Copies of this chain bind each other. A is one copy, B any other.
Amino acid sequence: MDPLPLVDQHCHGVLRDGPHDRAGFEALLTESHAPPAPGTSFFDTQLGFAVRRWCAPVLGLEPHCAPEAYLDRRSALGTPEVTRRLLRAARVRTFLVDTGLPGDLLAPEELAAAGGGTAREIVRLEPLAERAAAGARGADAFLAALGAAIGTAAGTAAAFKSVAAYRYGLDLDPRPPAPAELWTAATRWLASGRTGRLTDPVLLRHLMWSAARTGLPLQVHTGFGDPDLRLHRADPLLLTDFLRAVEPTGCRVVLLHGYPFHRNAGYLAAVHPHVYADVGLTLGHTGARAEAVLSEMLELAPFGKLLFSTDAHGLPELYLTGAQLFRQAMARLSTRFTGDGSWSRADADRVAALLAAGNARRLYGLDD
**Chain A residues with a Cβ under 8 A of chain B:** 30-42, 44-46, 49-50, 53, 63-64, 224, 226-227, 230-232, 235, 237-238, 240-241, 244, 252, 259-260, 263-264, 267-268, 270-274, 285-289, 292-293, 295-296, 298-300, 302-305, 336-337, 340-344, 346-347, 351, 354, 362
Query: In the complex, what distance in Å separates the CA atom of A49 from the CA atom of B341?
Result: 10
Q: Is the CB of B227 within 8 A of A287?
A: no
Q: Is the CB of A304 within 8 A of B237?
A: no
Most-contacted residue by chain B among A30, A40, A362 (CB, 10 A): A40
Q: Is the CB of B39 within 8 A of A362?
A: yes
The residue on B at minimum CB distance from A41 is B304
Copies of this polypeptide in the complex? 3
Q: Which residue of B260, B293, B342 contacts A267 across the interface (Cβ within 8 Å)?
A: B260
Q: Which residue of B50, B298, B300, B304 contacts A37 across the interface (Cβ within 8 Å)?
A: B304
- Given known A-B contacts A231-B240, A295-B289, A44 and B337 have beta carbons under 8 A apart: no
The residue on B at minimum CB distance from A267 is B224
Most-contacted residue by chain B among A34, A299, A303 (CB, 10 A): A299
Q: Which residue of B35, B42, B343 contacts A49 across the interface (Cβ within 8 Å)?
A: B343
Expressed in whole angstroms, the minimum distance between the Cβ of A267 and any Cβ of chain B is: 5
